[in-house]
Structure 1
Amino acid sequence: MPSKGVSIYSYISVNGYEVEFTVPAASILNTAADNFAPKHLEIDSSNIPGLHVVGRFQWTVLFHGEVIASAYNHINSLTGKLSGGTMTATVDFAPIVTHNAIITYGFYAAGPGDVGLPNRHQCYVTICSKDNIRWMGAIAPPGSPAAQKPFSRFVLAAPHDNGMNSMTTCDAFFTAANMDIVSDIKEHLPCLRFFQHLPDHLLLRRLPNIVYGVAITQKKEIPLMLHLGARYFEFRPAKLLPIIRKVSSLPDKYYFQHSCIPGLAFDEFLSQQAAFLDENPTEFVVVHIRWDGVVSKCERPSQQVIESMLDEACGQATQRPLRWGGRECFSQSIDELRQSGSRLICIINAEKYDSWTAEAYATLTPEPILERFESMNTKGQEGTDLTILQCQATSQSIKEVLVYSVLSAHAATSCLTSTKAHLDSQTLPWIRTNALDRLQADKTIVVMNDFIDGATTDTSIELSRRRLA
């Protein structure tokens, strides 16, 4: 009988929680023992009563047997398409905060499996502790032996392209977009060469879908990322492309830039970091200013401007003095930094030992990424400040994948979400098992991921605990 598959994945690190996944006539109950274990369910038409072909897929989070949260989609067993539900748009996958946990989740609506994309819908749910908000203070309390060790012993979770966490800024210029914008952006956005077969007026109409598929890698606000436990943020500040500034009503200031696609404003980003640090005196944040891929027409801030903005952000702290420091902070002890108030560490174009290469990460499978992890070693860390392990693929750089995802666009079909659960179930266990043995230099290690979640942040916390023991 016709059916549509759903691949499921969960991660749980808070006692008493379970996740139940259900479809007509079948269910799977996951506990912490099932972390990182992919499983499968089928929306089978033979299990749907009467002549109906639409079945309900649902996940439910339970705490000691009591229902805490749930979400669902109605799925057509013949076509595989969604026909309603609460997970039909990625933008709506808002984290759920309970009295003791943070629940994050995602859903990818799969097509028939064209161009190597999954032919099964993908769904993941992660549950981590609310205590992650102060994890640095928990594993290296002030005055403890752990806090006498250098800051570089921390392993930090990083939201990949953290400033691309909503379409708000983009929408502000899409509403005023015209043919001039298309003509100008085509010069600067490499992925648009994949759509040369589309006339400009159709490309203009598709531009929001293209941007969504290429650039929106997060869906949480910065304060929630910090609450989950993220502590490393790469930021690419630059002003708007002149044509965007000309046609939009956006303020003339510095924004996170994905090539020339604007995201979160830099001043807002810094204010949110400072507010978090002011409220949480044991915590630190590393901000790494870079301009990888930012087009030259987008004006970059000078070092003097950056330092002035950092001073202004730190000056907003009201509960205790907050200062920012540079790469010298990595070698100082955790306690020294806390005592001086230097808890916002900002580095600019620092040397890093990075797993990412364009060739390896243009993938829909974990194997090339794991091969990159396997190739890394302690010697490679020499002469660098940071070691970066990137878990997310850049499948949008595969022409056929991006074109298919855009032209068959649905609110839950971004190619960036198609690989999330499958890759995490392979990359995060590898990092937990192997990273500290392979990478033994006294350097800060960063675990980076799209759609930052509890499984990723818990991985960094666990490795930090081991390095500081």
Structure 2
Amino acid sequence: MPSKGVQAFTYIGVPNVSIELSVPKQSITRRDQGFWSGSLEVESRNIDSFFNKKGRFTFKVFHHGKQITEQWIDVNAITGNASGGTMESIADTPSIFHHDFIISYGLYEAGPGHEPLPNQHQCYITVTRNYSKWVTNLAPPGSEEEKKPFHRLVLPSAHDVGMNSMESSAALLRKVGGAAVATLLKRTDNTFCRVVDKLSGYPIELIAPNIIYSLSITQKDSLESMLRIGARYFEFRPARLHNSIRSRGALPDKLYFMHSAIPGMGYDTFLQGVIKFLRANRDEIIVVQLRWDGVPSDCAHPSSEEKKQYIENAIRDHAGGEINVGNLDDMKHRTIAELRRDKKRLLMLDSVNTLSTYTDDGNATINGQSIVDAFPRVLDDRGAQRRAGFVLIQCQATATNIQKALLHSIKDAGVTTSVLLATKGVCDHKTLPWCRDNVVDKCELGKTVVLMNDWLDGATVDVAAGLSRRRLAK
């Protein structure tokens, strides 16, 4: 009988929590802390209706037996499609903040399944403690831990923080149309260009919004939520709109986060959000690195004076005299206590050399194994670690570099079919346990370590905070 599978990935990081997963006539309950993955099958024979072969996949989170949330989507056992419910769109799956813990989750719709993409729908769920003040809690003011160097910390990071919504791209589409956006992608993204050549006659401009969703959106929570989940390091690529559309008035003429030539969050909005969070959490410290990887020259990069002006305006207008800006030297040589004393709780870096685990080939994966294989090859080079400004461990897959996967993602583009989301659960369940078990031994104690991920979640932060605790104890 026809059926469709749902592969679930869970992480529980707090006691007295359970996650119940169910499809018609099958359910699984997870109570143990840590990582778990398993499959459920929506079987047409288990659906009573003769004509309607949709079965509901549901997950519920309980705390001390009390239900905290229920999320669901209907899965057609015959066609494989998933629709309706609370997880029909990436934008409809924000993290849930409940007292002392956070629930992060997401769903990838596999549809009928196309090689090399997963054949089963993918759902990830993490339940972890509230990490809004995790640096404060690990190194409280006046504690011995606070006297340790800041570089002992392992900082969780939201990869491509500025691509967390369609707000800027939607405004662009309304003004210049999908054809213009498709043209921008063809001009600036070689992988996309090669795939588009294989889609001769396909109306790319008609599905431009879904293409952007599938290829560029890497986060789904607001900046405030990412900070509350626990992100403490961000890379931001500020640049102006592409020259071909800059004068057309689609968006204000200012600096935006750029994913290739696709604009995301405004740089001023980002700085304001970070400073607002720091004022509300007076012992937290955040690192921001500016860089321009992959941003085409037709998207004007800011001058040194313009970069200086943006940060000075943000501090003047929003810091209230409570925050000073630090730099790489502060990150490398100051203790946590010294940074707090001098109010240097926003450390701004600019194109600092890093030792990164990322490679185009290694991160171009569906199952994450090549990412894990690259970790020891990169990190075993202690000389390279010492020469670098800091160590950047990138857990996210870049499946958009797999031409066949990208082709299917574009043809079937939709708000739950992101090729980037397809890899989230399976990669995290390999990369994060490896980091948990190896980073303390593999990474220099005298270098800050960053743990970066798409779709920032509690498991990434829980692992980073645990590593920080162990490094502070040395």
* TM-score normalised according to structure 2 size: 0.95
Q: CA deviation at 1:124?
A: 1.1
Separation in 1, partners of 2:291, 2:83: 42
Query: For the structure 1 residues 227 and 201, does the alpha-carbon distance in structure 2 shift closer, same or farther, using more than 3 Å as the test?
Result: same
Q: Deviations over 1:47-68 (max 9, x none)?
A: 2224242111100011111111
Q: CA deviation at 1:343?
A: 0.5
Q: Which residue of 2 aligns with 1:349?
A: 351
Separation in 2, partners of 1:245, 1:61: 46
Q: Deviations over 1:298-327 (max 9, x none)?
A: 111122222222222222346652100110
Q: Which residue of 2 aligns with 1:275?
A: 276
Q: Number of residues paired by the alignment?
A: 467
Specify the code of the residue in structure 2 equivalent to 1:140: A
Q: Which residue of 1 aligns with 2:55?
A: 55
CA contact (8 A) 1:173 1:247 kept: no
Separation in 1, partners of 2:8, 2:202: 39
Q: CA deviation at 1:246?
A: 2.8
Q: Which residue of 2 aligns with 1:468?
A: 472
Q: CA deviation at 1:111?
A: 2.9
Are positions 1:147 and 2:146 aligned together? yes
Question: What SS does structure 1 have at the residue aligned with 2:219?
Answer: coil
Unpaired stretches in structure 2, ≥5 consecutive residues: none
Are positions 1:44 and 2:48 aligned together? no
CA contact (8 A) 2:238 2:301 kept: yes
Separation in 1, partners of 2:157, 2:457: 10
Are positions 1:159 and 2:158 aligned together? yes
Query: For the structure 1 residues 39 and 176, does the alpha-carbon distance in structure 2 shift closer, same or farther, using more than 3 Å as the test?
Result: same
Specify the code of the residue in structure 2 equivalent to 1:54: K
Question: What SS does structure 2 have at the residue aligned with 1:294?
Answer: coil
Q: Which residue of 2 aligns with 1:458?
A: 462
CA contact (8 A) 2:161 2:218 kept: yes
Specify the code of the residue in structure 1 equivalent to 2:27: S
Specify the code of the residue in structure 2 equivalent to 1:224: S
CA contact (8 A) 2:156 2:232 kept: yes
Separation in 1, partners of 2:337, 2:318: 20
Paired-residue identity, %:
39
Question: What SS does structure 2 have at the residue aligned with 1:80?
Answer: coil
CA contact (8 A) 1:112 1:118 kept: no
Are positions 1:420 and 2:424 aligned together? yes
Separation in 1, partners of 2:411, 2:180: 22
Q: Deviations over 1:384-408 (max 9, x none)?
A: 1111111110001111111101111
Question: What SS does structure 2 have at the residue aligned with 1:316?
Answer: helix
- RMSD between superposed Cα atoms in Å: 1.6
Separation in 2, partners of 1:340, 1:281: 12
Q: Which residue of 1 aligns with 2:129?
A: 129
Q: Which residue of 1 aligns with 2:114?
A: 114
Specify the code of the residue in structure 1 equivalent to 2:171: A
Specify the code of the residue in structure 1 equivalent to 2:359: T
Separation in 2, partners of 1:384, 1:293: 21
Unpaired stretches in structure 1, ≥5 consecutive residues: none
Q: CA deviation at 1:228?
A: 0.6
Separation in 1, partners of 2:182, 2:121: 33
Q: CA deviation at 1:15?
A: 2.2
Are positions 1:95 and 2:95 aligned together? yes
- Choose which of 365, 374, 387 in structure 2 pairs with 1:363: 365
Q: Once structures 1 and 2 are overlaid, which stretch shifts more, 422-431 or 5-14?
A: 5-14
Q: Once structures 1 and 2 are overlaid, which stretch shifts more, 265-274 or 206-215?
A: 206-215
* TM-score normalised according to structure 1 size: 0.96
Separation in 2, partners of 1:388, 1:231: 13
Q: CA deviation at 1:180?
A: 5.3
Query: For the structure 1 residues 320 and 425, does the alpha-carbon distance in structure 2 shift closer, same or farther, using more than 3 Å as the test?
Result: same
Separation in 2, partners of 1:248, 1:181: 15
- Choose which of 385, 389, 398 in structure 2 pairs with 1:385: 389
Query: For the structure 1 residues 408 and 318, does the alpha-carbon distance in structure 2 shift closer, same or farther, using more than 3 Å as the test?
Result: closer
CA contact (8 A) 2:156 2:233 kept: yes
Separation in 1, partners of 2:29, 2:202: 49
Are positions 1:215 and 2:216 aligned together? yes
